[in-house]
A and B are shown apart, each in its own frame.
Chain A
């Protein structure tokens, strides 16, 4: 008893020698033995156990961007189908590590959330996916305020967020995050691509009045359009910020009637644009003359869904930009594979929102296969600086420094009735803008990506 008691009092000389020897052995072990142990560190929902892996698709199924959200969801479901069984862009992506049997041999499953086009609701929905459904990656659009909110959550919880449709400069600018990636183009690129064409079509001596959706996307869209049109010699008469949930824009159009502006720029998206354009046409802006010139309406960010929602007659002749259009199926094998499989599945062509969400899911999965692990820092490194083709026209680069994709984009115009070749053929391609023409220095916008491992 006393002997045992004596032992517990402290270390013997023999114990000290044993510990020293063990420490020396541990310290001299080569680092490659430890590397795997570091890679297995639990981050977010890594490691993934079991025969399946779950993705989370958080899209707006209600409120002003619901039509985009529904199309995004269709694309996500199709991407999962192709990842598990082959087909679509899984066959055209170059380089391509996908095996057509899920991802890393695990069958891909998914859960769906409704962002309600509201950042708080989106965060709650995303958190539920991450904490309850254990998603390894989540994705969705269609509002930049929501994308940014989810990027911050992604960084905090260590789960990669592949942005759906988000066009604000802030997403990969001041609010960029290591765990967020954007395939879609942005407001800066829109301004850079669109302003020279506006100047060519409507002349250099123009006076523009802006109506702008009052949130991050609208603010950066307005600033980019203002900067680039002023470089072309235009004057900005005024700008009115409009609440996002406005359905009747008449009170905002009234001051424009009384101004000397001869161009109306609608920095609106989705149903906002549907209604502001409808109201502007009702107010006679398309037939009006100001300063001896025809009044013009511009919608900087366009989509086929918006064109349909606004009505063919209203969009006729209205210029804007879009990331991709389904009619490009004749331009490259990736677009062709996507459009054909989407049409076969749903009976109508996909929107640009659907295309970006589909590509994001495929590209993330490819990065996992290339990294050989779902470990988020390794997947992030596989995505950063990765250049690929087969997902649309030309090559696409995921810039490492800000996680912004650079690829070709389009300047489009609403078609006239005589040009229509079907009910989905609403947009005429005015210019195919090359990737190199919209690239900008990474320090154009401030912001830090943050660490690979969440604090």
Chain B
């Protein structure tokens, strides 16, 4: 019996506990996906291009390129832009990292970097969809939904897939970026917010005592039980009662797990919670660690929509965004490592695409535009080979030329590390077995330990 038949027959909640399982031995139990919305410049982070210093200000010849990501921007003359950031070697692996990421740089021996990831569409909304769902159009399940569908839940009190957008600016198309698409609703990401009601409807708006709520719960359990006794082997009814129990436990458990008040001052300081610049991303990184510790399978944290989108001023934009995220990310890696969790937790850091080596010639402050031909992304922990790197771009950092990988391959790698085979993880919809990676991805083997 495949998963699909089970979905017809059994309640799906029962299914996710019964049937879910790995295809092969998993290297990671959980994944924290750090979505750098807007697209980070590879040239200014992990992929130094000294040639650009030489070409800086010179006009770029685009006549040989058939296709560009932003036709309106490429219709006019463009000039090369050297990175305004200095690079330096770090770690035992001697990886070059720019001064933008001084904290993350200290963790290069834990990072597995791919500098040649390509994608299909240079528009933010379509590209963000592809990063999260594999496809450039809406309607498809997100990576976290696929993982939850494949593996089921690993905890009894919390949702299995948590999304934490930045409320200054939500990702394009909002909830669809962590939605379940055509998968059943139970696999959709649950949004957690900082504050008194982290999950929607978690708290009763009625001004009643907890004793009364507890008594109601008892009464409901009793009533469903009386009815259930008459229909003893009805799996749907059993599953319904279980889901109410889980809901009640969530009401108790979620505020406890998410409370960071009790964390030591040093931890709060490390994540940057005392600094308004880093506090938002830092708080969510710390929550991610606590959620994974409590058995949540997949946590996705988003920077504000288009935050890294440095068309106008690469220096100013990237400095601002790096300041908000670099320290919290390093703290997350350190915290996971120190708690022995990094080994079994896959951390992924990427944006929807990379950026161009050039800027419109008429522009005074140089920026960088969208580039689907290469981006530098990294994995850490979860069975990835620390200190490794793959992928080469051309001398100006315009496109990947060696060991080219695609967004589907990143997804295949995430699934692979979590014990799932992207070709076998399918769901029947619209007349065919659908996949996260469509026709299949390639695991980025060079980065897997």
Q: Do A and B come from one complex?
A: no
